[in-house]
């Protein structure tokens, strides 16, 4: 993933389009994980916080209780690197697509809406975190660092899933399907292929079939 950064002129132009009048100079700002698409938190921004977010590339919000702008993670270190900023159709709500470092919620939860489920998107996020962190001896890190091993495991798991699909029961088929998906996603990450790139290619193919 890569961050986003506006210059002062384009940031000011974007901010001018936002309707801050409905809430007395504030708009709701929804932070969404750029990989999993999970909603992490909801806060508020004034115009200055929005401009700071756009020009710094990191999420800034306006605290209604402290009456000041704050940078997410300024005390905890759990910063939000912003990949994209979007306004809704009425230009009175902001959506931030962010790379979240650590937990988003002050309670220690991953999001302000609880831990949530662990699914395919969360698996991709976990693999990305392993890719961007120092070697820790984990199996995922080994796959990411050793392309030859990752290729061999995809071939092995593909054969095992095919055999289960041919001769096994549903539980075995599901188990092998999960193994194949995990190893395929790990190999994709090792090849430098991100989830967003996979989604763009799927979207291109879908449009081509219409």
Which pLDDT does position 102 carry in this prediction? 86
- Classified as helix, coil or strand, 21 is coil
* Residues 124, 185 contacting (CB under 8 angstroms): yes
60 closest CA partner among 75, 41, 79: 79
In the chain, beta strands by DSSP E? 27-33, 39-45, 60-63, 68-71, 80-87, 94-100
| Residue 3 per-residue DSSP state | -
Angstrom CA distances, 199 to 141, 195, 205, stand at 24, 6, 10
Tell me the pTM: 0.65
pLDDT by position in tens, the chain (length 210): 456 779 999 999 999 999 999 999 999 999 998 877 889 999 999 999 999 999 999 999 999 999 999 999 999 999 999 999 999 999 999 999 999 988 899 888 889 987 666 778 778 888 988 887 777 788 999 999 999 999 999 999 999 999 999 999 999 999 999 999 999 999 999 999 988 889 889 999 998 887
Residue 11 has a pLDDT of 96
**Domain positions in the chain:** 8-100, 120-209
Q: Please give the pLDDT value at position 201.
A: 94
Q: Which fold has domain 120-209?
A: Helix Hairpins (1.10.287)
Query: At the topology level of CATH, where does 8-100 sit?
Result: Ubiquitin-like (UB roll) (3.10.20)
Q: What is the pLDDT of residue 1?
A: 45
């Amino acid at each position: 993933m890569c961050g986003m950064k506006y210059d002062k002129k384009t940031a000011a132009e974007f901010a001018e389009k936002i309707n801050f009048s409905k809430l007395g100079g504030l708009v709701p700002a929804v932070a969404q994980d750029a990989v999993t698409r999970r909603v992490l938190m909801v806060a508020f921004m004034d115009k200055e916080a929005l401009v700071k977010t756009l020009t710094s590339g990191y999420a800034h919000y306006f605290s209604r209780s402290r009456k000041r702008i704050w940078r997410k993670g300024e005390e905890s270190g759990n910063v939000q690197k912003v990949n994209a900023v979007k306004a809704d159709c009425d230009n009175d709500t902001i959506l931030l697509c962010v790379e979240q470092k650590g937990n988003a919620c002050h309670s220690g939860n991953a999001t302000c809406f609880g831990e949530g489920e662990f699914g395919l998107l969360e698996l991709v996020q976990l693999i990305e975190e392993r890719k961007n962190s120092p070697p820790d001896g984990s199996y995922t890190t080994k796959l990411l660092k050793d392309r030859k091993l990752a290729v061999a495991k995809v071939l092995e798991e593909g054969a095992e899933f095919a055999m289960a699909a041919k001769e096994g029961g549903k539980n075995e088929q599901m188990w092998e399907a999960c193994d194949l998906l995990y190893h395929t996603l790990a190999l994709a990450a090792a090849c430098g292929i991100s989830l967003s790139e996979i989604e763009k290619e799927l979207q291109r193919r879908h449009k081509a079939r219409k």
